Structure 1
Amino acid sequence: MSVNESITPEPILQLGLGFMASKTLLSAVELNIFTVLARGGRDRASIAAEVGLHPRSSADFLDALVSLGLLNRDDEGIYRNSPTAEIFLDRAKPSYVGGILEMANARLFGFWDNLTDALRTGTQQNEVTHTGAPFFATLSQDPVAWRNFLNGMNGVSTPLAGALASDFDWSGRQHLVDLGGALGAVPAAVLQSHPEMTGTVLELPPVRPVFEEFVARHGLSDRLSFHGGDFFSDPLPPADVYVMGQILHDWNLEQRQFLLRKAYDALPDGGTLIVYDAMIDDDRRHNTYGFMVSLNMLIDTEGGSEYTVADATEWLAEAGFSKVHSRPLIGGYTAIYATK
């Protein structure tokens, strides 16, 4: 068989071994590399001493981060964060998105080792696999894992929050409620740019202590409140805007339709429901990130998955919403705005 020199195995090998680069980043976040370097450039020995790197590993590890575009190293051997890492991977900055990476490192990385089992059985492969108890009830019993999970959800929501705050026309809106909004990244971003508004996060009661810490850090304790409850069984707090971000993908079709109808019934005329997720493109070919998140839902939930924009549009119309339109956000996410 003749060999076509323009076709090589390199893309396949890079993809198949991509977990190596992924774990290098996750370990760097765990070791606080980027937060240490946010305080100023350091040489290899100084970094190794502060974060606890072994002499055998330090050179290759730090230079691997250089090759991945996460660190820069000058001719004197001084390491500094890349501009992107400086903004998004320094724990001390409000723009920090490493919470989702911390959660991926502590939870998801190991569970993805069981993807083949999930594909064969259709059953989730996380903490619930071993306990049989509901996912959130199981996780909330471990304070460290619970905080890690909530910070992870906040990390992935932070850049989306800024996008939503600027993309949607909030004029004339007074109060928004984020349904299952974790620590409140979305309402925090909206309230900071719209001082006339107030907000509420409806979440499970164990979220409250971590939520209150987050809100206090952002100076919003007087405008952003916590409402403990379950959006399946409890009444929804009144609002003229509801947000369901990364919520529908946790549940099966019947549960999604129930939540959308419940939001429709609770909204006043002219009220809006904002749904955002890593929705799959309608042609089901292009949003690789959406497919990866959907496989993660297979591993991490009982019946969840991502869905197409067309699917969500249909469900919203069935729930009663008359004005429904979608807009791409950032990073493979889509927002759908549905008005009653």
Structure 2
Amino acid sequence: MLEISNLTHTYGSGPSAHHALGGIDLKVAEGELVCIVGPSGCGKSTLLRSIAGLLRPSGGEVLLNGVRIEQTPDNLAVVFQDYSRSLFPWMSVADNVALPLRRKGMDKKQRREAAVEALSEVGLEKAAGKFPWQLSGGMQQRVSIARALAYRPALMLMDEPFGSVDAQTREDLEDLTLRVRSMHNMTILLITHDIDESVYVGDRVVVLSKSPAGIVGDLRVDLPGPRDQITTREHPDFVHLRGEVGRLVRGVPGPPDSAAGGAAPRSAPETATPGADTTGPDTDVPTPDADTTGPGTDDTDTTTSDADGTDTTTSDADTPASGADTTGPDGEAPEPGAGDPEPETDTIEPGADTPKPGADKDRGVPGDTGPAPRPERIHMSDPQAPIWDAIGGISRFAALATMAELGCADELRDGPLSVDELALRCGANPSSLARVFRQLAAMGVVTTTTPGVYELTEAGAALRSDVPGSLRPAVRMITEDGFWYGMGKVPQTVRTGTSAFVERFGPLYGYLKGRPEAGALFDDYMTARAQPFATAVASRYDFSGVGTVVDVAGGKGHILASVLKSNPEVGGVLFDQEQVVGGAKEFFAEAGLEDRCKFVAGDFFASVPAGGDVYLLGSVLHNWSDDDCVRILGNVREAVADDGRVLLIEAVVPDEDVPHISKDVDMRMLALFGEGMERSGSQYAELLDKAGFRLNRQLELPGGFSIVEALPL
């Protein structure tokens, strides 16, 4: 099915060239599950990217069902290691799974049915309507597997798919892989650093040498089935095979025949047996220490899953923090020592780094009288990791802020640039900028295939100033002098109960009005934030049968405009202060919607225009105290008909103690607004009740926001 012939690849040229692949020959039969292991930085990622059609090799060829791979084949799917970057947070779980099915020409109903079936196969049918950020790390990776399953590929590539979850979840995902492979007789190629994992799930284990990578072992795994995490790992054949693979990876001599009872290494024939192969395009050029774990890494997902697919315990790993993954898309950099074995991220092998009596003998050097002892797997779970990660967050944000302030993403829009060229264009010191980009690469904001040359990732492209919903204004806004002061003075605010920002500068909007540069930056931030936000509201809520929508304090009217575009029969009223309404008229004129909207200036503390069927308040109430909110809602109640509706668009704080964007926003509200705050669903229900409404339902939006629908009492 898959045939790789004399595959080679070299990064760069001349004396600094790095030879990643030294001539790989490999055949994988239909239905096989083949695991590929090797020293860190040996070229596993390069091999996988070549198979996936993501990288053109320097020499040789890859054939899938007899067809040479020149680009990503339609009958191939990839499960990546970093689930947090391969799932779209603004799409539901079901929509994420259904997304690639559009390439198959399936209609919406067919895509939905296929997605639900795939989610059922991985035990997540009850999570179809949730968003990825609401799931644990293990559940998110199951969503990634479901997406690949729904596509029904001829070949599935899995790139270190379980490297970012805890030990127990990892074992659950290994068993899941075996189940789905058995159900569909799927051909899988799986790249892993975990020797135990390769023997447990594989039909064959292919071992690569240090770069330039070559195959130094191709071992068939003949273990009794069905495989079980306890009994299989205790089986003598498992222990023996694990030792064989370990010695091949480390390049140490094998034991005398007597030590293994005379058993010879069990190498696979040239054509493998069905059932082995699980690999995915790995990161391609690792930096030194890319696999080490230190304070702030977020590999400590301690979630366990119940039989119904719901989590009973969550941890930091459930919602990966920016920069938590210390291995960026730089899997095999031509750095000195990049091909040397390095300790795994979540395991420590005793004796690997600390010499002790007999260590040389145990490692199989001359004079060894027996096999090295089986390393004990120790899971590194640092209870201080969440604190260290938060401390490290300021460093990661500093790198983002530098990139945004200097406009680096705009300079990289047309392709890769060297640090020296980028520094010249951005007016920066090359040495200092190189250190910033080293951090950005670890965060997944940029990537590199040649040392010192960087390009944007999909995440990094969001910092370009010319893309819809650009995040550049948001990053720059946080470092504005007043905002930065307010965030730094939160302890003072908490002590006194009064915003330190407000005490020094006065109310936020007055501060922005008196500082045109800060005001313009804030407007850019709000505009960039509103564009994708508005589209989500218009698509999530059913405005059928609505005559008029009144947008209260609607600003330029992004939400209202999006609603009008999606619903040609609906008319609109935009209500805001006099100085804001003028800009809104221009915005609607540019959108060709000025004839369908009326513009009314006024103060919502005094009154609100009557006659609307639906009243929108988008990110309005969180700016105000409870008493002010009741006053605003009371004026809306006087204006709305008894059969009307009110829609509050807010980041609703969940009742559970789980990470959520509303809690991040609430800290900024505490720092900058004084009495403004994010509220829970029950708190909104109480405010609505006092103003003459009842909370009817809450519809979740991408990014942690919600539509809170209220009906008049």
Which category of TM-score, normalised to the shorter sequence, fits these structures?
0.7 to 0.9
In the aligned structure 1, how far is the partner of 2:692 from the partner of 2:487?
38
User: What is aligned with 1:98?
Assistant: 472
Q: 548, 553, 556: which is aligned to 1:183? A: 556
Q: Establish whether residue 125 from structure 1 lines up as the match of residue 491 from structure 2.
A: no
- SS class of match (1:83): coil
Question: Which is worse superposed, 149-158 or 267-276?
Answer: 149-158
Question: Which one has a bigger Cα radius of gyration?
Answer: 2
User: What is aligned with 1:336?
Assistant: 708
User: What is aligned with 1:42?
Assistant: 417
> Over aligned residues, Cα RMSD in angstroms?
2.6
Q: Which runs of 5+ in 2 are unaligned?
A: 1-378
User: What is aligned with 2:179?
Assistant: none
User: What is aligned with 2:298?
Assistant: none
TM-score (norm 1): 0.87
Given that 1:280 and 1:287 are in contact with CA atoms closer than 8 Å, whether structure 2 keeps it comes out as no
In the aligned structure 2, how far is the partner of 1:243 from the partner of 1:79?
44
In the aligned structure 2, how far is the partner of 1:288 from the partner of 1:323?
22
Given that 1:123 and 1:302 are in contact with CA atoms closer than 8 Å, whether structure 2 keeps it comes out as yes
Q: Establish whether residue 67 from structure 1 lines up as the match of residue 442 from structure 2.
A: yes
Q: Establish whether residue 267 from structure 1 lines up as the match of residue 640 from structure 2.
A: yes
In the aligned structure 2, how far is the partner of 1:218 from the partner of 1:89?
25
Distance 1:118 1:191, change over 3 A: same
Given that 2:685 and 2:695 are in contact with CA atoms closer than 8 Å, whether structure 1 keeps it comes out as no
In the aligned structure 2, how far is the partner of 1:98 from the partner of 1:218?
24
Given that 1:179 and 1:201 are in contact with CA atoms closer than 8 Å, whether structure 2 keeps it comes out as yes
In the aligned structure 2, how far is the partner of 1:201 from the partner of 1:97?
26
Aligned 1:156-305 pairs, distance under 5 A: 156-208=529-581, 210-211=583-584, 214-215=587-588, 218-223=591-596, 226-236=599-609, 238-283=611-656, 285-305=657-677
- SS class of match (2:479): helix
Q: What's the CA shift for 1:338?
A: 1.5
Q: Establish whether residue 109 from structure 1 lines up as the match of residue 481 from structure 2.
A: no
In the aligned structure 2, how far is the partner of 1:118 from the partner of 1:323?
32
Which has more helix, going by share of residues? 1
Q: 396, 399, 422: which is aligned to 1:21? A: 396
User: What is aligned with 2:246?
Assistant: none
Distance 1:203 1:100, change over 3 A: farther
In the aligned structure 2, how far is the partner of 1:192 from the partner of 1:165?
9
Given that 1:150 and 1:183 are in contact with CA atoms closer than 8 Å, whether structure 2 keeps it comes out as no
TM-score (norm 2): 0.44
The one-letter code matched in structure 1 to 2:395 is M
Q: What's the CA shift for 1:303?
A: 1.3
The one-letter code matched in structure 2 to 1:254 is D
Given that 1:290 and 1:332 are in contact with CA atoms closer than 8 Å, whether structure 2 keeps it comes out as yes
In the aligned structure 1, how far is the partner of 2:693 from the partner of 2:421?
59
* 1:89-133 Cα shifts (integer Å, max 9, x gaps): 32222232433323222142332110110010111122x32344x
User: What is aligned with 1:154?
Assistant: 527
- SS class of match (2:617): strand
Aligned-pair identity in percent equals 28
In the aligned structure 2, how far is the partner of 1:256 from the partner of 1:154?
24
Given that 1:140 and 1:206 are in contact with CA atoms closer than 8 Å, whether structure 2 keeps it comes out as no
Q: How many residues align?
A: 333
* 1:289-329 Cα shifts (integer Å, max 9, x gaps): 22222222221113111111012123223433356111221
User: What is aligned with 1:316?
Assistant: 688
Q: Which runs of 5+ in 1 are unaligned?
A: none
The one-letter code matched in structure 2 to 1:268 is A
Distance 1:19 1:256, change over 3 A: same
Q: What's the CA shift for 1:135?
A: 3.5
In the aligned structure 1, how far is the partner of 2:686 from the partner of 2:431?
57
